[in-house]
Amino acid sequence: MPSSPIERSGLIRIAPTLVSQPAKPKIFGIGLNKTGTKTMGHYFRVWGFRNQSFDLGAFRDYQQRDWEKLFALAEDSDTFEDWPWPLMFRELDERFPDARFILTVRSSPEVWFRSLCKMAVRMGPLNDFEKHVYGFGMPQGRKQEHIEIYESHNRAVEDHFRDRPEKLLRICWEDGDGPEKLGQFLGLEEPEIEPVHANRSLEVYSGNNLALAHCYRFGFQSWWRAREWWCSRKKSSGKK
């Protein structure tokens, strides 16, 4: 009942009480790079989530262990994949106790390593995050060290959630896992799209020889720059 003459007169309206809605649980992809993280990010966006992918600034914050800055960044998104999120799954689990976690893996450590080698040929040396995570800017010639880190990370994740299996999903796209498995874990309907490989790339040298990798890297990156220059030139001439 109105409590003042102004309210009784109808000259003002009292705003209804707003009931705050519970925040959506965060969903963190915590598989290492080259495990299908971009494919997972694609599905997240199809479902309408605000997805946070690789962020070099956030990775710098992780290197400085600036947790509060990283947690503040996490508040602005729903889903996460790629660096630096896999490196801080313990801290994220503590800060966001209702969060879900997804460990993307490859069909074998060797397949993962070959994919890492191809990325290094196309983009390397990767002295920002690769050197920090794995100890080397180029993986070639360091196969055993990289595979040990890959397997150690996966074990650490599974051990951390061993007593809370409802919080963790292990998924491998190459083994036939698809968006339906991801959707079931998250309580979502399967998106009406075909399974995708969101980061399919050109075939390049995937061997473990560092000298050959640098030769192929120089050739590939020279070709890529020439291609970009030619495409830019054609585009500019087409505007005239």
Q: What is the CATH number of the domain that holds 155?
A: 3.40.50.300
Half-sphere exposure (Cβ direction) of 155: Cα atoms closer than 13 Å: 7
pLDDT (0 to 100) of residue 208: 87
Quick check: is 122 in a domain? yes
pLDDT (0 to 100) of residue 224: 62
Quick check: is 14 in a domain? no
Mean pLDDT by 10 residues, the chain (240 residues): 40 38 80 96 94 95 96 97 97 98 98 95 85 94 97 98 98 93 92 62 78 77 72 69
How far apart (Å, rounded) are the C-alpha atoms in residues 83 and 31?
10
Quick check: is 93 in a domain? yes
Quick check: is 208 in a domain? yes
**pTM for this predicted structure:** 0.81
Quick check: is 12 in a domain? no
**Phi then psi for 124, rounded to 5 degrees?**
-75, 180
Number of structural domains found in the chain: 1
Quick check: is 15 in a domain? no
Long-range CB contacts for residues 93-99, cutoff 8 Å, separation at least 24: 93/160, 93/161, 93/167, 95/67, 95/71, 96/25, 96/26, 96/28, 98/25, 98/26, 99/25, 99/26, 99/27, 99/28, 99/167
Crossing angle (nearest 10°) for helices 56-63 and 67-75: 150
pLDDT (0 to 100) of residue 202: 63
Provide the domain limits for residue 219: 24-238
pLDDT (0 to 100) of residue 195: 61
Quick check: is 57 in a domain? yes
Quick check: is 4 in a domain? no
The C-alpha R_g of the chain, in whole angstroms, comes to 23
How far apart (Å, rounded) are the C-alpha atoms in residues 136 and 145?
10
